[in-house]
Each structure stands twice: as structure tokens, then as C-alpha cells.
Structure 1
């Protein structure tokens, strides 16, 4: 075989001498050496990656790759993020530091440690806020209560709390919840029962809660829940907004901002959906103001059964006082309404979906709920579904809590540190660090709930005296904790109890054989494939 150097000399001699300078043996050897060094560098880099992978495989369920950080592992488990996070948090003792790709600012600390959560949400509450990054990701919500901090947040919380504690609104809540059950939910379930067809209960609950929350917040019923399941434009737009915000969580910031700049991909869909939903909300605000103006001119009082939150907000502002005209802004009303709709629609529908599935697959739990209903709700073989009546159902309340422990509607929450801090677990937190806490993982920790933590056992919530066991909010975090504890907690329980009691008393629910039940990757913990069931009317 001809040596490489000789081969090069032959090529050079075959060409005109005036165009090329004959390489010396030193030059040729240098080229060969450089090629050899490149091969060595590549081989060394490959070996380094293999050793790095081996080292992290040996000690950790996720690899911190050079340049790419832990993002490849996250993307590899993107279809099961809540369970992936649970495994990691168990492995790391409850708190884990995620390292994103270099120069992407995707690092964060995630925890399921009750001591850390108590510290973040209560003891050192002033140091942890939503922050500018959160507001940017959730910018469709505007400056509502979920994205605001400090004085703005305190003002809105006080305002909303005063409205939902109003006796007129409590009566309105009961009327709307029962009315939608009687006028829409029961007819739909009777229809699918009599025709022996399958129905996706997740879609049913989505329609129920969207109608309810729009009526309670805006005083307008979109009538999404009907036998033909109509495609309502603003309801569909709301779903798209939620999906697009999810994409902002799983993409590098530069990617979705680039899409937003050029109005392409998911950001283009978001802009279109945002515009549609805003038109709906602004139209409702305009109509409500006209209605109240006419009532005021005619010196008529708003009927108690029609006292929605938008009405309460405008009327409270008209009374003056501390509000000082702040709520007269249409933008303020829009942001408040958007946040309240977001809070009351998907969270309650998610909670109902997982709860009905758990009860349908646990006959003994269903039997105990029915026995309790017979004792407290049934009069002349009919159930009474008022707020006072459902508040007596201790076992049902326990079963709902147990369902929310295992499948919290919001699987992840996040905040941002203002100043440096040290968590009770010993982890150091730098200023501007993104902090995530994981309610989904917390419900699956043996250290908190025992070895049977994955079992659906409502009994764990009931004391020997037959009362609900009071679990600290930083351990049972489905409704948040500390100053940001969910204001709508009682409202959520009332709606869930009314719907659940109606279904459990009147129908036998059977999950379609072979139907997969898995969490969907979303901001709210929906079922990936819905909840396909067959329902049969019970004879009482």
C-alpha cells in the first residue's frame, strides 16, 4: 500500500508546478498529526460523555448532561411529568434542583417537603412572589389575583373575599349549581342511559363547570352543557389559551418568544384565542353595566338569585369607601373575571372527573356514600341538595379530600424568590430562583401518608369520633396554604358534593372496558383520554 505522504507527492506532480508548492515531508506529517489529534479529541469527548452518563446513571434517575443539562431527561419523560417528578423527589428526599441547558435560564428548585412548603408559603411568605417571569408566561390573565403580588394582590383578595362571603352570592351559588344539575346534567345522563351509549364524563364536567363559572362570575350562561355538546367559540378559545400556556412551560423562553414575535405556531393560536375570549368577557361587562345602570335609574334592586360576582364588584365600587373607584376600570374587571373563570372551571371539573372514576372503581366506597346519603339527604325517596344538607355528608367530604390528595387539580405551583434564603431542608436559594412545589408528589409520599399512600382510603380523613381530621394545609396542599390559600375552597366542595351526590344516587357508572386512565400533561390535571363510561339509571 502506498504511504499517505507518497500519495500526496504523486498528486502534486500531476498538476502544473507553477500553481502549487510541493509540500515538504514536515508539512505532510503535520497534517497527518492534526488529523490524528482530532480523532483523539473526538474519542476523548465520546468517552467523557459515556463516563458522565455512567456516573449519573449510577447515582441519579436523571442525567445532568454537559451543555444540555437535565432537559433531555425531562423531554424523555414529557408524557408522564407528574410521576417523573414524584420519582425524582422521592429519590432526592423531597427536594431537587433542576439544571436546564446552559445559558437558557431554565434552572429551578422543586420540592414536596412539607417543612419547605410551610416555610415558602407561610413563614417566609414575603420573600416568595409570582414574579415577572410568571406574569409573562400567564400574560392572558392580565393583572388578576393569580399573577399579581404585594398591594395589588392584597387589594384583590380582600375584594373577592368580601364578595363571595355576601349572603346574596351564597344563595346565588346554590341556585346556579342545583339549577344546572336539574336542567342539563340529569337530562344528558338520562339520555345516554336510555340509549345505552358511551359518554365522556370529563367533557360533561367541563361543560357543567364552564356554564356555572361564567354564570356566577359574569351573570351569563353559555349553555355549553347540552345533549348535542355544541362547540362554543369562547369555551374552545379558553381551552386553547390553557394549552398554549403549557407550551410556554416546556419550551425555552427564546423559542416561544420568537414564535410570538413572528406570530407563528402555538403563539399564533394563543393570540387568536385570546382575542375571542376577550371579546366575550368585554361584551359581558358592557351588558352588565348597562343592566345595572337601567336598574339604578328605575330604582330597582338586583334580585338575590341573580347576584353574580361582576355585579357585586361593580355595586361595591359604587358604594365608595376603600375601593376608591379602582374597580371601575374595564381592564380591572376583565382581569378579575378571567382569573375567577380560570380558577373555577378546570379545577372543579378535574376534581369531579378523578373522583367519579375512583368511586366507580371502588364499590365499597360508593356503598358507604349511599348509606350516608340515605341518612341525611333522602326525604320521600328524593334527595335534598341544598348547601346545608350536603354539609352533613362527612364520608363524602372525606372521599373528595382523598381524591384531591391523589389527584390535585393543579399538579405544580411555582413562585420566585426575591432575596437569598435557606430552606429547612438545607437547600440554598439565590435571588430570582424559580421555586416549584408539587402537590401531586406530596400525595404519594410514604413519609407523609404511610405505606398505603397510593390507596384510595377515605377513612384516613375520619377521626374516631366520626369527624373530619384536620390536616395541615402545607401537607394537604390541593387548596394552597398560607396567605394564598384558595378563597373558593368552600365553593368547590359545595359544587362537587352536589354533582357527586346526584350521580352516585341516581346512576350506576361503569368505566368502559379497556379505557386507559392516565394524567394528561397540562397545567390542570385532566385525564389524557377523557373518562369514557356507560351510565345506568338506578331504580329507587
Structure 2
């Protein structure tokens, strides 16, 4: 007769207890398991992580503590409570920094503005703010975007129309914004967006690196660090991607250092002129860190915002019609091109601005932010915070809080942004948090709106965008809210 061994008996007992425990807790949004903590539920819902987190937050009053497996130091306070967000980002700003966990995960950013704290962050922000507010720089931004729209985007879309091609708009926007930000920051155009849609190593490296950065958030720290140490799995590819990015950046920095005579007008040259001096030029590492932070911000956030915006507009014909009507009403004449709107004309497009804000509310490009407390504190929700506690606030969930946005918070409704007098309704940044809040609010907010409006006008006025039938729209698992399968569309020329 076959006798069960001790191993089989223990396994059977474990499975019985696990199934029994699951049956008792299957109707709760998040279950705390023995030893494993809440990690199994997180992993099970990973493909739909943002809506899952939103559900858990909603059922816990906007704040809960995620408890990870034993001995992994994965306990995280998660919140979407706007009062907590305001407290963390503004009221007690000095007590909440990026922290060690963020620094380790995002080591690729160096000491740039997104990863740094205290005096290093203040220096970066002050330097960039002084440059961004200059009129000459704003004119440069406008001309750069306009030139790329004419020479790249519209040329490609005309080609796609003639060939009857299906187009992945997400890929097109990533190429477009990468070309733009490379020219703005480094003074060169990698020409990712052309009819051939070439494979540009550096542009692809950014995309793949983001995926690894996200997975570092859900893996135990020791595990991804072990993979990095032995250079296996996705950490091996991450090292290769970082090398590709660094080689491109250091090559451009070196060429600028060696340049004689009058320099080109670009952000890196402006920084080298304003922050350095003849005797002690800025070191390569500072320029590299500043550049990679600006490239990441200028490419990914804007391309993500545009992708979700065009999907929402394409699936809401009434909104599309109103945007078109507004654009045409503000054109100098029917014969004039969209570029004749100019910067002042862009500011008159109230409904378009509301539609962009609505897209960013529902699908913020950076869906999660995390901080670390320096000292003990108590949040407005009553939750106690110990030193070094990791805090994650969900920008995705803040945009879905009914107390802020109403019972129709899941609807795409640009009208919610427009006052009775026809102006834009101001919403505090800790409620409309797509550009973060407090002292670390995005410096490039105005630039982002300018680029998104210019792209939206150029496309909508010239083309009708139709999403391919049954194309799945699912957020990707990344630190930036991209679409997992891209945005496949058919493009048809519009008769004005």
C-alpha cells in the first residue's frame, strides 16, 4: 500500500488552509495572507493594477497600508485622499523626500531634478525655472514643435492616408516627442519620426528601461538587486539600455564642449553658459543627469497624454466636433493654416484646454508617485507615519474621487472644466494632480500644454482619426501610463 510521505501531507495541509483562507476572504478587495502578506492579491491583479488600487483605496476611505511578505520591507502607505496629498506635497513638504527606495529604483536618473532632494533639487529647479520663463526659450520651443509637425508628423500622416496604413498613434507620438525633446535639450534631431519609422536604439532603450523600473516596484528589493548583481533577466537588459542612453548623452555633451565659436541655441548650451564659467566648466555627470531627466519628462509624459487624449476624442464624436468648431472659429480666416493661431491663439482654445485637462485627469501620464517620511508624522486621515515609511499616492485614483469630481467622475466631460463665463475653472493642484503638487509641481506644465495643443490642432484639423475596431485598450505595466497594445487607428484626410 502506498504511504504518504511527510512532504505530501504538509503540502496537502497547506493547500487546504490556503483554499479555506481564500474562501473566507474572496469577497474582500485585498487579502492579507500568512507570511506572504498582501502580495498575492497585488500580483494577481497586476494586469489591472491601477483600477485595482483605486477599488481598494475607495473601499478603505482613500488610504490603506499595504503589507508585503515578512522580512521584505515592502510595507507601503497608499493614499488618494486629497488632504493627505496636500499635506505630503505642500503643508509638510520638507518632511517628505524621494527617499532611499526611490533613489535605488531610479538610479538611472542620477542627481537630476526628479531623483534629487534638498539643496541639489533646489539648485536644479532654480536653474531650469530661470531658463523656462525666458521669452527667447519659449519662442524656441514653439518654433521647434512647429517645424517637426510640418517636416515629420504631417508628412507621415499624409503618407499613411495615401497607403491606407493602420497607424499606431502611441508609437508616432513617442517618436515625435523624442525628436522634439532631443532637439530642445541637445540640439539634434534623431529623426525617429519619418516615413520609414526607423528603429532608433536610444529611443527604444527609454521605453524598455521604463518597464524594468516599474517591475522594481513590485519585486522584493533583494531579488531585483540580485538580478542586477549577476546581470540576469530584465536587469541585464536594463544595464544595456542604460549604456545605450549614456553613450548618446555623453557623445552630445562632449561635442558641445569641443565646439568652437558661436553655439547652437538649445537647453544644454544655455545651461553650460549660465551655470558654468571659463575656469570651472560644469562636469559631464551633471550635464548627463540634467539631460536624461529632461528627455524622460519631455518624451514620455507628453506622448502618454496625447495618446489617451486622442483615444478619448476619437470615441466621443461630440467632443471632437466641438474642438473642431472652436479651432475654426479662432483661425484668422478660413484659408489660413493652423500655425497662424500663434501662442495667443492657443490660449483662446478653452474647450480644447478642458478636453486635455479631462484626459490628464482620467489618465495621468505618471499614475503613481512615492515619497518617504524623514520624521514621524500624522496625516490628515489620522494615519501615523514613521520615519522612512514609503508613501505612494495614486494620481490615477485622485482623478476618480467622487467627492472632488462628482458621481460622473469616470466620464470624459470637458465641460466640467469650463465656467459659466466661458473661462477655465481653476482646480487646486492637489486635486488635479497630473502635474504633481506643491513645490515639486512640474516646471514644464505650460510647455506641455503648448505642445499637446499644437499636435491636437494639426491632426484634428487635417485628419479624421478612427480607432481600429476591437482594438484592446489596456494600460501597460510601466512607470508611465502607456497603452499596452498601442493605439491602432485608421487615418483619413479631412476636407476643411
Q: If the TM-score is normalised by the length of the shorter chain, which range does it land in?
A: over 0.9
Equivalent of residue 494 in structure 1, options 450, 461, 470:
450
Tell me the distance in 2 between the aligned counterparts of 1:385 and 1:218: 28
1:157 aligns with 2:96: no
Matched with 1:476 is 432
Alpha carbons 1:164, 1:309 under 8 Å: kept? no
Q: Which one of the candidate residues 50, 53, 63 is aligned to 2:31? A: 63
Partner residue, 2:489: 533
User: Which residue number corresponds to residue 101 of structure 1?
Assistant: 69
Please state how far the C-alpha of 1:167 moved relative to its aligned partner: 2.0
State the shift of 1:430 in Å: 1.1
CA deviations on 1:187-234 (whole Å, 9 max, x unpaired) are 111011112111100010000000001111111111000111001111
1:135 matches 2:91: no
Q: Relative contact order: is structure 1 or structure 2 higher (C-alpha 8 Å, sep ≥ 6)?
A: 2
Larger radius of gyration: 1
1:348 corresponds to: 302
Structure 1 window deviating more from structure 2 (49-58 vs 101-110): it is 49-58
Determine if contact 1:114/1:474 at 8 Å carries over to the other structure. yes
Report deviation, 1:370. Answer: 1.1
Paired position in structure 2 for 1:223: 191
2:482 partner SS = coil
Aligned residue in 2 for 1:456 = 412
Shift of 1:517: 1.2
Contact 2:38 2:69 in 1 (8 A): yes
- Counterpart of 2:232 in structure 1 is 264
Q: CA deviation at 1:307?
A: 2.1
Mapping of 1:138-537 within 5 angstroms?
A: 138-291=106-259, 294-295=260-261, 300=262, 302=263, 306-318=264-276, 328-381=282-335, 382-383=337-338, 384-537=340-493
What TM-score do you get using the length of structure 2 for normalisation? Answer: 0.95
Counterpart Cα distance in 2 of 1:498 and 1:44: 63
Shift of 1:100: 0.4
| Matched residue SS, 1:222 | coil
Q: What is the Cα deviation at residue 57 of structure 1?
A: 3.5
| Conserved 8 A contact 1:237-1:276 | yes
What is the deviation of 1:319?
Answer: 5.8
Q: Decide whether the 8 Å contact of 1:377 with 1:390 is kept in 2.
A: no
Provide Cα deviations, 1:352-382, integer angstroms capped at 9, x if missing partner: 0010111111111111111111121343422
1:386 CA displacement: 2.3
**Partner SS state of residue 536, structure 1:** strand
Question: Residue 52 and residue 312 in structure 1: after superposition, are their counterparts in 2 closer, same or farther (change >3 A)?
Answer: same
CA distance in 2: counterparts of 1:494 and 1:86, whole angstroms: 30
- SS of residue paired to 1:101: coil
**Alignment RMSD, CA only?**
2.1
**1:55–1:317 Cα change, 3 Å:** same
Report Cα offsets for 1:47-76 as digits up to 9, x if no partner.
654554345335x31110000011100110
1:276 and 1:171 mapped to 2: Cα distance? 31
Q: Deviations over 1:266-321 (max 9, x none)?
A: 11111111111101000111112222xx12xxxx4x5xxx521101100102469x
Go from structure 1 to structure 2 and tell me whether the alpha carbon gap of 1:431 and 1:183 turns closer, same or farther (over 3 Å shift).
Answer: same
Query: How far did residue 448 of structure 1 move?
Result: 1.7
The C-alpha deviation readout for 1:75-103, integer Å capped at 9, x for no partner, is: 10111111110111111111111010000
* 1:236–1:50 distance in 2 versus 1, CA, 3 Å: closer
Instruction: Give distance in 2, aligned partners of 1:285 and 1:530.
Output: 33
What is the deviation of 1:46? Answer: 6.2
Q: Any stretches of 5+ residues in structure 2 without a counterpart? A: none
SS at match of 1:328: coil
SS of the equivalent of 1:110 reads strand
SS at match of 1:414: strand
What is the CA–CA distance in structure 2 between the aligned matches of 1:174 and 1:527, rounded to whole Å?
Answer: 27
